[in-house]
């Protein structure tokens, strides 16, 4: 059963003056501290052959802190960052929290110069570095002009983490610009895709759907909030386990000068 919780925990990943057209682009500013928190609160309905079903709540949070320094002459912006996981159901989560990422943003894309995660195995370090890179570039870093009613898709989810391989190639997120009010653009968000995960000899197949809204500030060029409902079903044939998962994930981001 712990493998089930481990897999689920790992599942736990932007102007009206222009005729309702905006330039959508994430843009990290120099000498600033970005704090992003993703809260996940779901209820799982777990069934196992011969044992019936049980309900199990799962609450966890990921906190990312990114501190930028003065931009270099070439425009690159140095940063130091940390990722932290809070989850009472995974007592070993603390070993992942002692980390430090040092790098720079080059044309908006993160480049890691040094990663410090002494208590994490080398293979897991590479997977966590990839996952964090996805977090730092989870929205397009090249401007996209979007009109109200128009959509664009993005596929930048982690495909491996903590020894688990995800079927991330089909996990495409669709953003549709719903309205623009001053400097605030509201997007509808949709992810509806098959889901495949394998870890420690256990294969999981199913589907996941996430729907909700995202707010993007056109002047500050970042996403202060994203609110998504989750509906997923999957099974682990080897373990004789089926899982239904419903809940919500809320992401908030704040920015402050250093």
Residues 144-153: tens digit of each pLDDT: 788 999 998 8
* Residue with the larger pLDDT of the pair 238 and 235: 235
Q: Total domain count for the chain?
A: 1
CATH number at residue 96: 2.30.230
Give the Å distances, CA to CA, from 238 to 161, 204, 255.
Answer: 21, 9, 45
Residues 44-81: tens digit of each pLDDT: 888 877 777 888 888 888 888 999 999 999 999 999 99
* Eight-state DSSP code of residue 93: G
| pLDDT value of residue 243 | 83
Q: Are 235 and 204 in contact (CB under 8 A)?
A: yes
The boundaries of the domain holding residue 149 are 2-7+14-257
- The beta-carbon contacts of 13-18 under 8 Å, at least 24 apart in sequence, are 13/38, 13/134, 13/135, 13/138, 13/157, 13/158, 14/139, 14/140, 14/175, 14/185, 14/187, 14/214, 14/216, 14/222, 14/223, 15/180, 15/182, 15/183, 15/218, 16/180, 16/181, 16/182
Residues 152-186: tens digit of each pLDDT: 887 655 444 444 444 445 567 899 999 999 999 99
Residues of the chain with pLDDT > 90, as a percent, come to: 26
Q: Report the range of poorest mean pLDDT among 9-13, 67-71, 214-218.
A: 9-13
């Amino acid at each position: 059963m712990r493998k089930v919780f481990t897999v689920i925990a790992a599942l736990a990943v932007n102007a009206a003056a222009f005729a309702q057209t905006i330039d959508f682009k994430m843009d990290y500013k120099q000498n600033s501290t970005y704090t992003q928190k993703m809260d996940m609160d779901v209820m799982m309905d777990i069934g196992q052959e011969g044992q019936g079903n049980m309900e199990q709540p799962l609450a966890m949070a990921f906190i990312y802190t990114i501190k930028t320094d003065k931009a270099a002459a070439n425009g690159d912006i140095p940063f130091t960052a940390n990722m932290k996981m809070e989850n009472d159901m995974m007592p070993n989560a603390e070993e992942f929290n002692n980390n430090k990422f040092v790098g720079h943003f080059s044309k908006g894309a993160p480049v890691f110069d040094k990663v410090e995660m002494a208590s994490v195995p080398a293979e897991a370090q590479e997977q966590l570095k990839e996952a964090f890179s996805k977090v730092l570039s989870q929205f397009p870093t090249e401007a996209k002009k979007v009109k109200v009613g128009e959509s664009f898709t993005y596929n930048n989810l982690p495909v491996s983490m903590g020894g688990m391989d995800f079927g991330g190639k089909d996990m495409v997120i669709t953003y549709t610009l719903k309205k623009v009010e001053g400097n605030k653009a509201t997007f509808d968000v949709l992810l509806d895709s098959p889901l495949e995960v394998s870890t420690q000899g256990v294969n999981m197949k199913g589907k996941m759907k996430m729907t909700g809204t995202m707010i993007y500030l056109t002047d500050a060029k970042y996403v202060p909030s994203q609110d998504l409902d989750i509906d997923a079903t999957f099974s682990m044939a080897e373990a004789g386990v089926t899982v239904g998962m419903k809940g919500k994930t809320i992401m908030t981001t704040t920015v402050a000068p250093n």
